[in-house]
A and B are shown apart, each in its own frame.
Chain A
Amino acid sequence: MSQTTTATPTSPAPTADGTPRRRARSGSWWQRLGPPAVFLALLLLIVVLQPNFFSGGGIRIVALQATPILLIALGQAIVIGVGSLDLSNAAMGLLAAILTASTLGSLGVVSPVLCVALVTLVGLVNGLVFAYTQVPSFALTLGTLGILQAASLVLSDATTVYVTANADVLAWMFNVALAGLPAAFWMAVVLAAVLWAVLRFTTVGQGMTAVGLNETGAIFSGLRTRWLKVTAFTISGFTAGLAGLTIIAQSGAASSFGLGSDLLLPGIAAAIVGGTAITGGVTNPINVVFGAATIALLPIGAAAVGVPPQAQSLVYGAVIIVAVALTMSRARGAVVK
Chain B
Amino acid sequence: MSDLKARPAPDAAPAAPASASRPRPRIRGVGEVAALVVLVVVFAVLNPGTFLTLDNLRTVLDQAALPLVIGVGATLVILMGSIDLSVEGVMGAAGMTFVLLSANDRNGLDLGLGAFVVAVAVGLALGLLTGLIHTLLKVPSFIVTLGVWYVGLGIATLLFGQAAIPFLTSDGLTSWPSDTTLGLPHSFLLAFVVVALGALVSRFTRLGRYAFAIGADEQIAQDNGVPVGRYKLYVFALAGGCSALAGIVGSLQLGAGAANVGIGNLFLTIAAVVIGGTALGGGKGGVLRTALGVVLLTVLNNGLILSGVSPNIQSAVSGVVLIVAIAAAGWAYRGRLRIAK
The chain A residues found within 8 Å of chain B, CB to CB, are 83-85, 129-130, 132-140, 142-151, 153-154, 158, 215-216, 219, 265, 268, 278-280, 308, 310-321, 324-325, 328, 330, 333-337
Contact = CB atoms under 8 A, between A and B. Distances in A.
B111 to A, nearest CB: 23
A216 B142 contact: no
A319 B134 CA distance: 15
B268 to A, nearest CB: 9
Contacts of A324: 139-140, 143, 147
B341 interface: yes
B59 interface: no
Max chain A Cβ within 10 angstroms of own Cβ: one of B1, B144, B310, B336: B1
20 contacts: A84-B341, A85-B142, A133-B330, A134-B334, A139-B322, A143-B271, A146-B267, A150-B314, A219-B336, A310-B154, A310-B161, A314-B150, A314-B155, A317-B153, A320-B143, A321-B143, A321-B148, A324-B147, A333-B219, A337-B4
Main secondary structure of the interface of A (DSSP, over half): helix
A278 B249 CA distance: 35
B186 to A, nearest CB: 29
A318 B336 contact: no
A142 B270 contact: yes
Contacts, number: 196
Interface residues of B, number: 70
Contacts of A279: 2
Nearest to B323: A143
Main secondary structure of the interface of B (DSSP, over half): helix
Max chain B Cβ within 10 angstroms of own Cβ: one of A215, A265, A336: A336
B104 interface: no
Given A135-B326, A216-B337, A150 B319 contact: yes
A34 B218 CA distance: 34
B34 interface: no
A319 B330 CA distance: 33
Interface string B243-280: 00000000000000000000000110011001000001
Max chain B Cβ within 10 angstroms of own Cβ: one of A136, A313, A315, A330: A313
A319 B144 CA distance: 11
Contacts of B218: 335, 337
B149 interface: yes
Given A129-B323, A144-B319, A314-B158, 8 more contacts: A134-B338, A143-B267, A146-B267, A150-B316, A313-B150, A313-B153, A334-B138, A335-B2
A156 to B, nearest CB: 9
A184 B330 CA distance: 42
B315 A317 contact: no
Contacts of B313: 150, 153-154
B89 A317 contact: yes
Given A146-B315, A268-B146, A140 B326 contact: yes
Contacts of A149: 315-316, 319
A320 B316 contact: no
